[in-house]
Structure 1
Amino acid sequence: MAHAQYETRTRTVEETVVVLTLTEDEAKELRDVVREDGSTRAMARIYRALMKPEAPEPEPEPSADTFEHDGVTYDLNAKYRDTDGDVWRFARFGNEVIGGCIHKPENIDDGCSLAFVMDYGPLTKVTA
């Protein structure tokens, strides 16, 4: 019998970008050069960007319901499967996050340290 279901997958995409830091005087000189050579669409886009530099957007505050480990953000309300197929749940107690394999930890002594849990990684979010 056929079976289909939706899944949510998290993908990490690495992209290389060029960030150019200029003083106001350097930006003015570059605007003048780009304006004179506005022969391509790319040069026109660069000129428009130089005319209206934007302030960087502030980094959002991390949710109290998440934690980060080795650059990966985990949801405290989600379940995660390790490489052995075991399902883990996490809870925060003060500044410490504890993992539980059978159930979500109810106190700091009721689970395993993150270092122990992450030895069985990478962890994959359970979506169904």
Structure 2
Amino acid sequence: MAEAQYETRTRTVEETVVVLTMTEDEADALRQHIEKVPVSGVVYRVYEALGKPTPPVQPVPTADTFEYDGVTYELGAKYTDKDNDPWYFVKFGDDVVGGGSAEIRDVDDGRTLDYVMSYRPLTKVTS
């Protein structure tokens, strides 16, 4: 018996793009030059892009991080200390960050941030 079913597949497409960097004066000069010539298609899209450049995208900080002594750490992520022992960070209440061993994720196991940081350097486990 024949059967049919929809599937969703993800495809990765690699695309080569050209990034042209120019000063505002250079962009204005190019736009003014294009205005003098009848254009269409791709050149017209370049002309439009020159007329409304977008501001640089600012990275959005994640809400699940905190900073300690100039280093950003991720809440809930697993870290290892200088002895390769596991640690994690959690937030208690609105602004109190604590940590504990990665094997025991219990509020009773929570230690002060200064205590956890005494085992630095802490390296985030990524695999």
TM-score scaled by length of structure 1: 0.49
By relative contact order (CA 8 Å, sep 6+), the higher-ranking structure is 1
